[in-house]
A and B are shown apart, each in its own frame.
Chain A
Amino acid sequence: MEPFELICPAGNPAALRAAVDAGADAVYLGFRDETNARNFPGLNFSREDLAGAVAYAHARRVQVFVAINTYPQAGNLGPWERAVDDAARLKADAVILADVGLLAYAARRHPDLRLHLSVQASAANVEAIRLYRDAFGVRRVVLPRVLTVPEIARLNAEIDIETEVFVFGGMCPMAEGRCSLSSYATGLSPNRQGVCSPASHVRYEPRGTALASTLGGFTINLFEEGEQAGYPTLCKGRFLSGDRPAYLFEEPTSLNAMELLPELKAAKVRALKIEGRQRGKAYIAAVVAAYRRALDAFAKGQALPTLNLDAVVEGGAQTTGAYKRAWR
């Protein structure tokens, strides 16, 4: 049986080197613009950076995937099409796309380029996945974080392309690529600008002894002194429904599906993905190394090592998320 492929994030060349050195099988990254869903200030790769990244990774037999996973702007397809062209030219091993128009372009213009379907396309069922395969020759689908492991197993029994699932990191409780919460509060969206709850619209302000986070002027959370903080994303905020403040959508927490490795293997999942292109290289080195150790042990049939990743996760808490039915 083939071992899992470990797919790791990189927000810049140093992070890519950290991921490669820590044992990634593939690294995914984006260009420095709105063509990818982590379009954050100071992050991502120039064309020159990508060339260097591919050279570094390929020399160590590690693959590079380029995420071009936002939805191209009407009347301005150029930046997205050029991103696909440049990824192909610079010998990326795959591009990760979400928009059907862009998939059609890539399939037509670069028939040899390996296409992966981004989680942002939110393809959650057999029928949708087969359509992406038949229409564009998509070879792998990154599954949206709405399915339980048994559902993934049934899905894999019915499709003949590879599946990749998130196992670690930040977690959207909403179906990805189908969420306008950020643009509702700020005018900037994951689908269009590649940003969710953009830093430009985030403010932290002390309120008494507490720390308030606001997004577009809306109060998203209040952290008491000594309480762990989270990202200022709307879906991880505290709100009032009724009279009690509560994490209505999701607590500040991180996905960690390491305990589910046997089930994911039985479900015939091909690749495991770590979230966090926006995180520092220290996070990437630590998490990738931890997962590398776990996957190596798992492949040899050994007990999984105990790994303490609490220090790097949001809210200091971890969850198996949608993979278990109780999450719903």
Chain B
Amino acid sequence: MRDPGFALDEAAPDNRARAVEVRLTQVGLGVGLGLTRRLGDGVGGLLAGRVLRILSDRHPRAFTALREMPEARLLIDPVDAPAALLLQVGPRLALRVCDRHGVAEGAVDAAVRGPCARLLDLLEGRIDGDALFFRRELAIEGDTALILALRNTLDGEDMDLFADMATAAGPLRHALPVARRHAGRMLDLLDSARRAAPPPLRWGMAALERRLAGQPKRRPQGS
């Protein structure tokens, strides 16, 4: 469902870039989960920790506020991505990728679920959380105050996840702006490649994506 109040023009390059960002996030979460599965929490945690540090450096007001909150754990669950995020607020602020099915009952204080694109919009304040909730695109569970505090804190920033990542040091610095700039063309290429490819190659692409996402073979990701 699109929201006429805020809908970005489907044809706009910005929107194509968004689609790439959503896909990158989904794949990133899959990679994170794969690393975590194979190498343990430490390595997966490093990746998410890195993202958290970059954002924290860029948005000190919000991240100071998150560290000042009472310790609590929030599951951020993009339902169309292979993995979820577990955010711990409070003095020991931490972020890690997790398997949404592997979160033990009672291990989190609250959960927020929605499409990956919507959660990204919310993180960056491109959309109003209340409106999403009214329209039932966002589901929340558990400690409502915790979710509200996080939402309000992040909304206070002019956050642009990919721009923030891109300005930080490291390999992403080069990859992300390029990905964004060529978003439209990349999507076109990917789409036409998919359409044009003979079945075996299509399967191969799916397998590649699965590997990237760290998914077991019997649970292919819809793409």
Contact in complex: B156, A228 (CB < 8 Å): no
- In the complex, what residue of chain A is closest to B152 when comparing beta carbons? A42
A259 at the interface (CB under 8 A from B): no
Contact in complex: B148, A40 (CB < 8 Å): yes
A residues less than 8 Å from B128 (CB atoms): 279-280, 282-283, 286, 312
* B interface residue count range (under 10 / 10 to 19 / 20 to 34 / 35 or more): 35 or more
**With A12-B155, A40-B152, A42-B156 as contacts: A280 and B130 at CB distance below 8 Å:** yes
Query: What distance in Å separates the Cβ of A177 from its nearest Cβ neighbour in chain B?
Result: 23
Interface string of A9-36 (1 = CB under 8 A from B): 0011111010000000000000000000
A residues less than 8 Å from B133 (CB atoms): 229
A residues less than 8 Å from B37 (CB atoms): none
Interface string of B106-139 (1 = CB under 8 A from A): 0000000000000000100111111101111001
* A interface residue count range (under 10 / 10 to 19 / 20 to 34 / 35 or more): 35 or more
Contact in complex: A42, B150 (CB < 8 Å): yes
Q: Complex: how many Å from CA A282 to CA B143?
A: 24
Query: What distance in Å separates the Cβ of B161 from its nearest Cβ neighbour in chain A?
Result: 15
B residues less than 8 Å from A262 (CB atoms): none
Interface string of A218-232 (1 = CB under 8 A from B): 000001001111110
A residues less than 8 Å from B139 (CB atoms): 204, 211
Contact in complex: B144, A309 (CB < 8 Å): no
- In the complex, what residue of chain A is closest to B142 when comparing beta carbons? A203
Interface string of A255-284 (1 = CB under 8 A from B): 000000000000000000000001111110
Contact in complex: B156, A14 (CB < 8 Å): yes
Interface string of B181-221 (1 = CB under 8 A from A): 00000000000000000000000000000000000000000
Contact in complex: A42, B5 (CB < 8 Å): no
- In the complex, what residue of chain A is closest to B2 when comparing beta carbons? A311
Query: What distance in Å separates the Cβ of A33 from its nearest Cβ neighbour in chain B?
Result: 14
Q: Complex: how many Å from CA A282 to CA B131?
A: 10
Contact in complex: B148, A42 (CB < 8 Å): yes
- Of residues B5, B133, B151, B153, which shows the largest number of chain A Cβ atoms within 10 Å of its Cβ? B5
**With A226-B136, A312-B131 as contacts: A41 and B148 at CB distance below 8 Å:** yes
Q: Complex: how many Å from CA A205 to CA B143?
A: 11
B57 at the interface (CB under 8 A from A): no
Q: Complex: how many Å from CA A305 to CA B135?
A: 25
**With A199-B144, A205-B141 as contacts: A311 and B152 at CB distance below 8 Å:** no
Partner of A283, one of B131, B144, B153: B131
B residues less than 8 Å from A227 (CB atoms): 136
B residues less than 8 Å from A316 (CB atoms): 134-135
Contact in complex: B5, A312 (CB < 8 Å): yes
A residues less than 8 Å from B140 (CB atoms): 204
B175 at the interface (CB under 8 A from A): no
Interface string of B148-180 (1 = CB under 8 A from A): 111111011110000000000000000000000
- In the complex, what residue of chain A is closest to B65 when comparing beta carbons? A42
Partner of B151, one of A15, A42, A308: A42
Q: Complex: how many Å from CA A204 to CA B134?
A: 13
A73 at the interface (CB under 8 A from B): no
Interface string of A181-200 (1 = CB under 8 A from B): 00000000000000000111
- Of residues A11, A280, A308, which shows the largest number of chain B Cβ atoms within 10 Å of its Cβ? A280
- In the complex, what residue of chain A is closest to B159 when comparing beta carbons? A14
B residues less than 8 Å from A12 (CB atoms): 152, 155-156
Partner of A11, one of B134, B149, B152, B157: B152
Partner of B134, one of A14, A17, A42, A230: A230
A164 at the interface (CB under 8 A from B): no
Contact in complex: B125, A228 (CB < 8 Å): no
Additional A-B contact list (14), CB under 8 Å, known A199-B148, A280-B151: A40-B152, A41-B146, A41-B148, A42-B153, A43-B152, A199-B147, A202-B145, A211-B136, A223-B136, A282-B125, A286-B5, A308-B4, A311-B4, A312-B5
Query: What are 22 A-B contacts with C-beta separation under 8 Å?
Result: A11-B152, A11-B156, A12-B155, A15-B155, A41-B146, A199-B145, A202-B145, A228-B135, A228-B136, A229-B134, A231-B130, A280-B125, A280-B129, A282-B126, A283-B128, A283-B130, A283-B131, A286-B6, A310-B5, A311-B6, A312-B3, A313-B134
